[in-house]
Amino acid sequence: MALFSRRGRSDNTDDAAATAAEPVESPADRDDAAPEAVPQVGISVSTFGADPAAAHTAFAARPAETAPTPREIVPGLVDNALLQAALSTLSEEPQNAEIMNVMRQALQGQLFLRAQGDVQALLAAGEQINLAIASVEGKRFLLAFSGGAALQASVDSEGGASTSVIGQPAIEVLRNAVSGGYDGIYLDHATLGARVILPEPLITRALEESEPTFEIKALLSGSRDESTAARVADALSRLPVWVAGGTDAEGRMGLAEARTPDGRRRIEVFSHPLEVVALGRGDRPLPVQPEQLGRALASEPALTGVVVDPGGPWIELDRDGLAGVLALAGD
């Protein structure tokens, strides 16, 4: 049955069109989906790819560089297109790699919540806001939506009860779900074939293992202009990132790199460990400080730069654009 949880005024920021929803059957809670934590380690410069042909194939198959053009199915609500795309690829019984892909895309953009009644009137009257939840097998999940189509599906499934829509940065929704004592969030619960529960342990792990600003992910998933590359390079000179560590056929550890058919070599750099896990290659996410990344690039002149978040949205940065990172390598 549909429920509304008792929440304080601080849980809400924006109001929009009226909607309603009803929870549906849930996939199982997948506590085993959280990526394994890894310690801080020293980074050597030995890079690896499988073989040149495999590397070329991987490069050619890289996803779209930028996020899809924003759209508004419901006027005033800009869809989280990257999250919608991840949800649309879920199989009937989602595998861990698919859930990791949804989780990584749920760390950017906006999510939408439902609140009972007229939010503006309730706030003006100093009253609390009740957020919509789903009760599944004795657990409470905060309902969250990727955009207008998912909200409309909720409206259709429940019959138009008086509710409001609240848009918030996805990170804030996730943090509030954890701090509010929910067992997780249920994404697009009324959208058949494109819905999933993200359990609280996975959300907590994803938040704890990131750098707190999510600056790089926001830059890559947002709209871009001529300053985007410089802003990403500046962030790389200040913020920790991750690289993909693995072993070759002889058991030697190295860092994954992208190789193009014309011979360019770039270290793969990731804004979050989930970006590594979601690729499904079995690589290990290794945390790297800006100074370590600078030393890795400086010690291997044949590397032409980096590719950030090759799972998409991604960006390539050449060595001349990474002067700030290289300067951290010292002598």
Domain count, the chain: 2
How do residues 219-230 score in pLDDT, each as one tens digit?
999 999 999 999
Selection from 24-33, 126-135, 232-241 with the highest mean pLDDT: 232-241
Q: Could you tell me if 166 and 311 lie in one domain?
A: no
Question: At 254, phi and psi to the nearest 5?
Answer: -155, 175
Structural tokens at position 42: 């020293």
Same-domain check for residues 151 and 7: yes
Whether 33 maps to a domain, the answer reads no
CB-based contact 220:313 (threshold 8 Å):
yes
Are 224 and 304 members of one domain? yes
What local confidence, expressed as pLDDT, does residue 262 receive? Answer: 84
What's the mean pLDDT when you consider all of the chain?
Answer: 81
3-class SS at 276? helix
- 316 C-beta neighbours (distance < 10 Å), count: 18
Q: What is the pLDDT of residues 47-95, one digit of tens each?
A: 333 333 333 334 446 799 999 988 898 888 899 999 999 999 999 999 9
- Cα torsion through 202, 208, 212, 214, rounded to 10: -30
Residue 117 one-letter amino acid: G
Position 39 in a domain: no
| Whole-number pLDDT of residue 62 | 76
- Tens of pLDDT, residues 168-193: 999 999 999 999 999 999 999 999 99
Same domain? For 169 and 250 the reply is no
Question: Domain boundary at 155, 173, 208, which?
Answer: 208
pLDDT at 328: 96
Q: Which whole number is the average pLDDT over 203-229?
A: 95
In a domain, 275, yes or no: yes
Chosen domain end from 208, 235, 267 = 208
Q: Are 177 and 293 found together in one domain?
A: no
Q: Are residues 9 and 155 in the same domain?
A: yes
Q: Is residue 56 part of a domain?
A: yes
Neighbours of 78 (CB within 10 A): 16
CA distance 73 to 57: 36
Is residue 57 located within the same domain as residue 191? no
- Considering the domain architecture, whether residues 150 and 251 belong to the same structural domain is answered as no
**C-alpha separations of 265 from 52, 69, 194, 217, 256 in Å:** 11, 30, 36, 23, 10
- Which positions ≥6 away from 173 have C-beta within 8 Å? 111, 113, 142, 144, 185
Q: What global pTM score does this model have?
A: 0.80
The residues near 96 (Cβ < 8 Å, ≥ 6 apart) are 30, 32, 33
- Phi and psi (nearest 5°) for 47? -105, 165
Decide if 121 is inside a domain.
yes
Q: How confident is the model at residue 165 (pLDDT cuts 50, 70, 90)?
A: confident
Residue 218 confidence class, pLDDT cut points 50, 70, 90: very high
Q: Do residues 11 and 138 both lie within one domain?
A: yes
300 and 155 in a common domain: no
pLDDT digits (tens, 9 = 90+) for 291-307: 999 999 999 999 999 99
How far, in Å, are 68, 200, 298, 307, 317 from residue 263 at the CA level?
A: 29, 43, 19, 14, 16
Assigned token pair, 202 = 């996975």
Q: Which domain holds residue 175?
A: 2-17+74-208
Enumerate residues 6+ apart whose C-beta is below 8 A from 23.
Answer: 1, 2, 133, 134, 135, 136, 141, 143, 186, 189
231 vs 30: CA distance, rounded Å: 36
Instruction: Name the region of 104 (left: φ>0; alpha: ψ -120 to 50; beta: rest).
Output: alpha
Same domain (yes/no): 13, 161 = yes
- pLDDT, mean of residues 308-313: 96
Residues 218 and 195 in one domain: no
Name the burial class of residue 48, with classes exposed (0-12), middle (13-18) and buried (19+) by CB atoms within 10 angstroms of its CB: middle
Tell me if 159 is assigned to some domain.
yes
Using an 8 Å Cβ cutoff, are 209 and 273 in contact?
A: yes
Residue where a domain stops, chosen among 160, 190, 208: 208
Q: Considering the domain boundaries, does residue 260 fall inside one?
A: yes
pLDDT of residue 61: 65
Q: What is the pLDDT of residues 251-264, one digit of tens each?
A: 777 788 888 888 88
In a domain, 35, yes or no: no
**pLDDT tops 60 at residue 157:** yes
**What local confidence, expressed as pLDDT, does residue 195 receive?**
96
Overall average pLDDT of the 130-140 stretch:
91
Q: Would the pLDDT of 101 be above 90?
A: yes
Check if the beta carbon of residue 207 is closer than 8 Å to that of residue 172: no
pLDDT tens digits, residue range 13-36?
333 222 222 224 323 333 333 333
Is pLDDT at 131 greater than 80 in this prediction?
Answer: yes
pLDDT at 160: 64
